[in-house]
Structure 1
Amino acid sequence: MAAGYAQDGPVERPGRLMSAEVLEQPEVLRRVLQDGAPRIREVAAVIAARNPRFALLSARGTSDHAALYAKYLLEIRRGLPCGLASMSTTTAYGARPDLTGVLFVAVSQWGGSPDLVASTWAAREAGAITLAVTNNPDSSLAAVSEFHIDVLAGPERALPATKSYTASLLSLYLFVAALGGGERGEDHDDGRALALLPDLAERIVERRDEVRALAARYRFAERVVVTSRGYGYPTAQEAALKLMETCYLPALAFSGADLLHGPLAMIGDTSAVLAVVPDGKGGEALRPVLDRLRARGADLFVVGTRAEAAKGSVGFALPTEGVPERLQPILEILPLHLLTYELALRRGHDPDVPRAMAKTPESS
């Protein structure tokens, strides 16, 4: 299937690398569950035995959004206070805070970003328990970290990171679930949903014709606002980044709460708004925001349940029945990967060759 989609035109078709990797994601998820889970549980057990007092997460670009997802998981599922590290405090300003007993998680596709490597090494010297989560076990980041998790996405040749993002989300979920020693019943209940994820992901990426039609709607958009709440917020951030780096389309991501504190004023009846509506508490918290957006006449593209998608100007219904909200981000991003790919082509761009090579592998 993936080959057909990537090669349904000449070999030189723009975006063929990105399209192939988007469609590879169901198989990558299966690989993480089958081959990656045992090692992830081992690492989590050793770290849990050291009883970290709080966590710091460090990343750039796409990986930063995966780290944000881990922050939600650690705070909600494990009650572990979390922060997002500011790398420049150590790399530029030379700060050396006491990180004794702190879990420092560095997330990176390639693991070669100099400031990420340097800040992780500084954290380890300051007493932190350092964990690298990468798609490259031979990376500098893996080498300077005490522990490493390989997300097993396989070589990623397209500049927009897609399969390494969802592989990171799933790997981080498995890590956080195992960090508690499996004592919470809800984690055991997630087993069936985890087993369903690859097949559900396959059902989503098979709907590329549906997404292609949606992309036509936004071919001439001048700006997009992306919003969500709770577990969906990292998806909103990642969708905005993908729109910017593949379509060169200005995209602003806001939590629903922040959108109401000022930025709502820029929304009118010509505004394109993409809303990621989780099936759960995050979606419930977002509904008053969606009501305000509809009242302002926004062109509202909703990614969520069938009922929520039907309330938008247009929508993409996700097959989330039986999938807890905490796992839905792994599915939410898939139609948005397809959308950014199709929209880039509609706007005359090749998503495999970002303008002026503005992004490097080390930045994700």
Structure 2
Amino acid sequence: MSEHQPGAHMAAEIAEQPRVFADLVARRHEIASVAEVISARRPRFVLLAARGSSDHAALYAKYLTEVLLQLPAGLVSPSTATLYGAQPDLRDVLVVSVSQSGGSPDLLEVTESARARGALTVAVTNTASSPLNGAAELSVDVGAGVERAVAATKTYSATLLALYLLVDAIRGGNGAAAGALGDQAAATLEQSSDAVAEAVRRYRFVDRVLTTGRGYSLPTALESALKLAETSYLAARAYSGADLLHGPVAAVDAETAVLAVTSTGRGGDAMHDVLDAVHGRGADVVAVGSGADKVSAALRIPVAETAEEVAPILEVLPVQRVAHGLSLARGGDPDSPRGLNKVTRTR
């Protein structure tokens, strides 16, 4: 048996995403059937429960819920149930538990508790046979296939797409904004390769990275920081573009590497002044997204343009490749980051 090449699994899984997206869009009817049940129950509020990368996907779903459904949405703090035993009244509330593995005990307990307290519960997982799916009343199968690298790539982006298709179907949409994502993902991976290589070269020796974005792109900034930290062991910190100007910008200087996520739309437009300020302080700014050519940056990584609400599904792809490339360039193996396991069990 041949020896494992560092990063081979993560590279293959990044490359699989165009097919994963196309397959998931083709199964939209399955997700629409779940949405029909939710719509009939007319929830007054939405709560989202998740950990790690899935927490960033849940934040994306929060934006979708508040903007597209015009419903209030919040992120669950699992410890309120698991450590403190809180039992709020959740009648007429939709609780969506997001977990790639569906195996985290705290999310399982939160889901069971929420269902017992009257919530309509939905599990969004990549493991159809998981305990979480069994605990929830309804389930959405992400369908990304087995992911062997520890760092989540295809499962994260496919979870975003599944959540978009779910929310869009609840509002009566037909998934049109997601219809071409398979082809757009392939184009993004191909057209961004040179800029990704340059970003790896620029960031190879940095110790500190700041990531930033606004609106729908904030979850991508958070996921980017996590990927850089877990694969390349960088001190990576994510900020909303709005929060960045409220104080943290004082720590930005010529030694600061800034990865800014800026796609076409209101969120990207709101980043212009932020990046003017950061660029003016001498920071090395790499802008990622379909709006990257409109902001102050030293390097721009292009992403295919889409409707703003689905942009995060594409804009994370080149960032995954940056994390992969940096890990290898710094002597690591992004398939097996030190101290990490594929499934993290917390309570």
State which of 340, 344, 347 in structure 1 corresponds to 2:327. Answer: 344
Report the structure, 1 or 2, having the larger helix content: 1
CA distance in 2, matches of 1:326, 1:363: 31
1:228 corresponds to which letter in structure 2? G
State which of 114, 125, 135 in structure 1 corresponds to 2:105. Answer: 114
CA distance in 2, matches of 1:339, 1:266: 24
How many Å apart are 1:304 and its aligned residue? 2.3
How many Å apart are 1:269 and its aligned residue? 1.3
Say yes or no: does 1:319 pair with 2:304: yes
Alignment of 1:16-55 (within 5 A): 16-35=8-27, 37-55=28-46
How many Å apart are 1:209 and its aligned residue? 4.3
Going from structure 1 to structure 2, the CA distance change for 1:92 and 1:112 (only over 3 Å counts) comes to same
How many Å apart are 1:249 and its aligned residue? 0.5
What residue is the counterpart of 1:81 in the other structure?
Answer: 72
How many Å apart are 1:125 and its aligned residue? 0.5
Q: Is the 8 A contact 2:188 2:302 kept in 1?
A: no
What residue is the counterpart of 2:342 in the other structure?
Answer: 360
Cα-to-partner distance string for 1:255-295 (whole Å, 9 max, x where unaligned): 00111111111101111001001200001111111111111
Alignment of 1:272-351 (within 5 A): 272-305=257-290, 308=293, 311-320=296-305, 323-351=306-334
Q: Secondary structure at the match of 2:315?
A: helix
Alignment of 1:208-247 (within 5 A): 208-247=193-232
Cα-to-partner distance string for 1:285-333 (whole Å, 9 max, x where unaligned): 111111111111110000123662673111102121xx11001001100
TM-score by length of 1: 0.91
Q: Is the 8 A contact 1:109 1:362 kept in 2?
A: no
* Residue identity (%): 50
Say yes or no: does 1:71 pair with 2:62: yes
Q: Secondary structure at the match of 1:355?
A: coil
What residue is the counterpart of 1:162 in the other structure?
Answer: 153
Q: Is the 8 A contact 1:110 1:362 kept in 2?
A: no
Q: Secondary structure at the match of 1:233?
A: helix
CA distance in 1, matches of 2:75, 2:87: 16
Structural RMSD (CA): 1.5
Runs of 4+ in structure 1 deviating by more than 2 angstroms, as ranges, are 206-210, 304-311
CA distance in 1, matches of 2:262, 2:215: 9
Q: Secondary structure at the match of 1:361?
A: coil
Going from structure 1 to structure 2, the CA distance change for 1:309 and 1:16 (only over 3 Å counts) comes to farther
1:150 corresponds to which letter in structure 2? D
Say yes or no: does 1:13 pair with 2:13: no
Q: Is the 8 A contact 2:99 2:126 kept in 1?
A: yes
Q: Is the 8 A contact 1:304 1:317 kept in 2?
A: yes
Q: Secondary structure at the match of 1:105?
A: strand
**Structure 1 stretches lacking a partner, 5+ long:** 1-9
What residue is the counterpart of 1:196 in the other structure?
Answer: 180
How many Å apart are 1:363 and its aligned residue? 5.7
What residue is the counterpart of 1:6 in the other structure?
Answer: none
**Structure 2 stretches lacking a partner, 5+ long:** none
How many Å apart are 1:212 and its aligned residue? 2.1
TM-score by length of 2: 0.96
